[in-house]
């Protein structure tokens, strides 16, 4: 029996695909979700409710959502950048919204054309909408650029914690701290998540979102795990990036993260072998994209056993 | 002024090159050493004193050693697999030997055709030779497969610590624990190095040697740093592997390690920008080898400042 477990949330279909101009065919998206679910990945961010004219990749958000809702055992979620997106997502039946606002004012203006304060006001409206549904919709508040910003540079940790309190006080069901552009180092991560966990961990679950832009993604995930974090975003094959943060490419690799956690005795409920096989769907549909990840190449160590 | 510092030891010229059949020209090796020294890397394992018929890459060990000894400020070292190699290295004037023995009996037999006990006996003879020189030669005892073995699978941590005591009691000047085949996870690393540091850290400096075979190399380095380790082996561009451990490729990347440590406020004395430029020498001489590492592609974060 597992004494420790974690949620690994696949965000490749959203954070991975959003920067990729090639349209990933809708049936292939659905096959990807099905295959990951079959491997044991129950938490999948399946799409983004951004205006399709901004990111055509998500023009099929309604179809992908509908298909996801029909998969027993899946806990689908979707990114929403604003109230309008939340309205569309709620109408589509998405049970969990990820509302993103950037701690860095400059990044927020670039990313969603709002000041941070405007995004906070919008977040309150999203919460009101989501929580007033007959079956309340969960809302996670994702604080982007929480560990650095390509425009502003360093981000004040005090400001991150201040905003974290604001969104949790407002009623967020989850707090997510994101190293959107791959700036974080593990000592910084440890300090930040220690503080967030201490001040807010008793009130909401806290998730960690890392990019491997500068090679420290899994070191940062380990540091967050040491701080007690047990919800991690990751992308199959490390797809992903931020369209407004040049050079930021690649979420941490889902397969490698699962391998790390399972090796550490933290059960994910995900079958590593089956998960690695899902890469084929990505490779077939994005033959020109770089596929990251080491465990798919090297295979697990001799005698490797998943946490159970 | 740095409150914390670490030694990053370049092992690319030895662990990196030993698995690569293409002969890296001697002048290019010397240029590589010179360029890393100019970037601030003072600890470089410059070659291996294995029989040249086994690994022709090191047929120029004497020339590389002689050139290294002529570089002011450099602390060159060399791997020696046995007494005969140590005799050659000492005769060449190498001031620091790295004697390797595998904790895994099976791996040791495959790697140096000796039982672990035979290697321990040989290590004592090497120590006697090294320490009886007019200027005593330092000897580091590197315990290979200390965190797993491609032949034996898991390795008993108790056996690692037992052997660590044996080599330190025998008179080793440094203890190095090596994840030779990239099997380690950060929780395992933390526990192993915590114990080594507690039991032996007061007697000898302890070094960590990681491979990134399964993507956890820098997470493991961070875990070791958390355990108080301040000496790390790494290879420029992540070159390297173990010729007798199939699938094991790539030491942790020197540039990414330096970036991680410096970001964490641990000074290495190494100029990251100049270090990244040294990759060019590797690329020019090994055009067909994979070059690993993220910081060389993404560049440092905006506002990045080295620890000082």
Q: Which of A175-189, A230-244, B151-165 has the lowest mean pLDDT?
A: A230-244
Encode pLDDT of B262-300 as tens digits.
Answer: 999 999 999 999 999 999 999 999 998 888 999 998 999
Alpha-carbon span B40 to B271, nearest angstrom: 6
At B308 the pLDDT is: 77
Alpha-carbon span B84 to B101, nearest angstrom: 15
CATH number at B162 reads: 3.20.20.70
Q: Are B261 and B40 in contact (CB under 8 A)?
A: no
Supply the DSSP string of A176-194, one letter for each residue.
EEEETTS---HHHHHHHHH
At B240 the pLDDT is: 75
Q: Which residues from A are below 8 Å from B215, CB to CB?
A: 218, 253, 256, 259-260, 293-295
Alpha-carbon span A67 to A179, nearest angstrom: 30
CB of A147 less than 8 A from some CB of B: no
DSSP secondary structure letter of residue A43: E
Cβ-defined contact of A216 to B188 (cutoff 8 Å): no
- Phi, psi torsion values for A256, nearest 5 degrees: -65, -35
Determine, yes or no, domain membership for A305. Answer: no
Nearest CA distance, B48 vs chain A (angstrom): 26
Chain A residue with minimum CA distance to B260 = A185
Which of B216, B226, B260 faces A260 most closely, judged by CB atoms?
B216
* Percentage with pLDDT > 90 across chain B: 89
Chain B residue with minimum CA distance to A300 = B214
- Phi, psi torsion values for B240, nearest 5 degrees: 130, 170
At A248 the pLDDT is: 46
| CA dihedral (A244, A250, A254, A260) positive or negative | negative
Cβ-defined contact of B215 to A253 (cutoff 8 Å): yes
Instruction: Retrieve residue B66's tokens.
Output: 């002689």
At B248 the pLDDT is: 46
Determine, yes or no, domain membership for A175. Answer: yes
Encode pLDDT of B72-100 as tens digits.
Answer: 999 999 999 999 999 999 999 999 999 99
Alpha-carbon span B84 to B112, nearest angstrom: 12
DSSP secondary structure letter of residue B185: -
Determine, yes or no, domain membership for B1. Answer: no
Alpha-carbon span A143 to A208, nearest angstrom: 10
CB of B208 less than 8 A from some CB of A: no
Alpha-carbon span A42 to B178, nearest angstrom: 36
- Residue A7 confidence (pLDDT) above 60: yes
> Which of B190, B220, B222 is best to mutate for the A interface (most A CBs within 10 A)?
B222
Alpha helices in A145-264 (DSSP H): 157-170, 186-200, 217-226, 254-263
At B111 the pLDDT is: 84
At A2 the pLDDT is: 60
Alpha-carbon span B144 to B104, nearest angstrom: 8
Nearest CA distance, B296 vs chain A (angstrom): 8
Residue B242 among the catalytic residues: yes
**Measured between alpha carbons, how far is residue B150 from residues A200, B190, B244 in Å?**
43, 21, 9
CB contact burial A233-265 (16+ within 10 A = b; e otherwise) = bbbbbbbbbbebbeebbbbbbbbbbbbbbbbbb
The model's confidence at residue B241, banded by pLDDT at 50, 70 and 90, is: low
Cβ-defined contact of B219 to A293 (cutoff 8 Å): no
Encode pLDDT of B11-52 as tens digits.
Answer: 999 999 998 989 999 999 999 999 999 999 999 999 999 999
Encode pLDDT of B197-234 as tens digits.
Answer: 999 999 999 999 999 999 999 999 999 999 999 999 99
CB of A146 less than 8 A from some CB of B: no
Alpha-carbon span B164 to A138, nearest angstrom: 52
Determine, yes or no, domain membership for A2. Answer: no
Q: Which residues from A are below 8 Å from B253, CB to CB?
A: 215
Determine, yes or no, domain membership for B306. Answer: no
Angle CA(B289)–CA(B295)–CA(B299) in degrees, nearest 5?
Answer: 125
DSSP secondary structure letter of residue A137: P
Alpha-carbon span A285 to A262, nearest angstrom: 29
Chain A residue with minimum CA distance to B303 = A153
Determine, yes or no, domain membership for A138. Answer: yes
The model's confidence at residue A249, banded by pLDDT at 50, 70 and 90, is: low
Tokens 């003879």 -> residue = B125
Determine, yes or no, domain membership for B304. Answer: no
> In angstroms, how far is CA A42 from the centroid of its own chain?
13
Q: Give residue B138's domain range.
A: 7-298
Q: Which residues pair with B250 in a beta bridge?
A: none
Supply the DSSP string of B6-53, one letter for each residue.
-EEEE-IIIIIGGG--SPPPHHHHHHHHHHHHHHT--EEEEEE-S-TT
Q: Quick one: residue B148, left, alpha or beta (phi over 0 = left, psi -120 to 50 = alpha)?
A: left
Cβ-defined contact of A214 to B253 (cutoff 8 Å): no
A234: closest CA among A202, A268, A263? A268
* Packed helices B83-92 and B116-131: angle between N→C axes, nearest 10 degrees: 20
**Measured between alpha carbons, how far is residue B260 from residues A183, B143, B266 in Å?**
10, 25, 9
Q: Are A249 and A240 in contact (CB under 8 A)?
A: yes
CB of B301 less than 8 A from some CB of A: yes
CB of A272 less than 8 A from some CB of B: no
Give residues 230 to 249 of A whose Cβ lies within 8 Å of B. Answer: 247-249
Which of B215, B293, B301 faces A293 most closely, judged by CB atoms?
B215
Alpha helices in chain B (DSSP H): 26-39, 61-69, 83-92, 105-112, 116-131, 157-170, 186-200, 217-226, 254-263, 272-285, 295-298
Q: Are B267 and B3 in contact (CB under 8 A)?
A: no
Q: Which residues contact A57 (CB under 8 A, 6 or more apart)?
A: A17, A18, A20, A21, A23, A24
Instruction: Retrieve residue B48's tokens.
Output: 């291996």
Q: Are A240 and A19 in contact (CB under 8 A)?
A: yes
CB of B193 less than 8 A from some CB of A: no
Instruction: Work out how many domains chain A is built from and give that number.
Output: 1
Alpha-carbon span A233 to A210, nearest angstrom: 7
Chain A residue with minimum CA distance to B188 = A264
Residue A124: CA count within 13 A, CB half-sphere: 8
Q: Which residues from B are below 8 Å from A303, CB to CB?
A: 153-154
Which of A256, A295, A302 faces B153 most closely, judged by CB atoms?
A302
Nearest CA distance, B91 vs chain A (angstrom): 40
* Percentage with pLDDT > 90 across chain A: 89
- Phi, psi torsion values for B153, nearest 5 degrees: 80, -130
Nearest CA distance, B159 vs chain A (angstrom): 18
The model's confidence at residue A290, banded by pLDDT at 50, 70 and 90, is: confident
Q: Please tell me the total number of residues recorded for chain A in this structure.
A: 308
Determine, yes or no, domain membership for A303. Answer: no
Tokens 């293409």 -> residue = B22
A189: closest CA among A219, A166, A232? A219
Alpha-carbon span A40 to A275, nearest angstrom: 8
Alpha-carbon span B128 to B233, nearest angstrom: 25
Catalytic residues of A: 242
Alpha-carbon span A18 to A142, nearest angstrom: 17
Cβ-defined contact of A301 to B215 (cutoff 8 Å): no
Instruction: Retrieve residue B74's tokens.
Output: 């450099």
Residue A121, Cβ neighbours under 10 Å: how many? 14
Per annotation, catalytic residue among B146, B149, B242, B295: B242
Q: How many helices (H) and strands (E) does chain A have?
A: 11, 8
Which of B219, B247, B293 faces A219 most closely, judged by CB atoms?
B219
Chain B residue with minimum CA distance to A191 = B264
Q: Which residues from A are below 8 Å from B154, CB to CB?
A: 303
């Amino acid at each position: 029996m597992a004494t420790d477990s974690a949620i690994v949330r696949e965000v490749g279909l959203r954070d991975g695909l959003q920067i990729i101009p090639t349209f990933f065919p809708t049936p292939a998206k659905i096959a990807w979700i099905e295959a990951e679910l079959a491997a044991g990945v129950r938490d999948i961010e399946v799409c983004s409710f951004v205006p399709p004219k901004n990111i055509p990749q998500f023009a099929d958000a309604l179809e992908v959502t509908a298909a996801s809702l029909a998969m027993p055992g899946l806990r689908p979620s979707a990114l929403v950048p604003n109230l309008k997106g939340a309205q569309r997502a709620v109408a589509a039946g998405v049970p969990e919204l990820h509302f993103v606002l950037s701690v860095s004012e400059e990044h927020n203006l670039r990313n969603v054309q709002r000041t941070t304060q405007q995004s906070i006001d919008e977040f309150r409206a999203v919460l009101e909408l989501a929580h007033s549904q007959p079956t309340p919709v969960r809302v996670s508040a994702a604080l982007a650029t929480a560990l650095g910003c390509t425009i502003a540079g360093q981000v004040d940790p005090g400001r991150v914690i201040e905003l974290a309190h604001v969104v949790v006080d407002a009623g967020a069901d989850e707090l997510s701290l994101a190293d959107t552009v791959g700036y974080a180092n593990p000592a910084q991560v440890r300090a930040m998540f220690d503080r967030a966990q201490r001040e807010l961990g008793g009130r909401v679950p806290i998730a960690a979102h890392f990019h491997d832009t500068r090679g420290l993604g899994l070191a940062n995930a380990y540091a967050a795990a040491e701080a007690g974090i047990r919800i991690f975003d990751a992308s199959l094959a490390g797809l992903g990036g931020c369209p407004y943060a040049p050079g930021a490419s690649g979420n941490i690799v889902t397969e490698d993260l699962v391998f790390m956690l399972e090796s550490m005795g933290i059960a994910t409920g995900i079958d590593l072998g089956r998960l690695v096989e899902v890469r084929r769907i990505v490779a077939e549909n994005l033959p020109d994209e770089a596929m990251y990840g080491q465990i798919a190449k090297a295979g697990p160590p001799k005698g490797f056993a998943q946490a159970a």
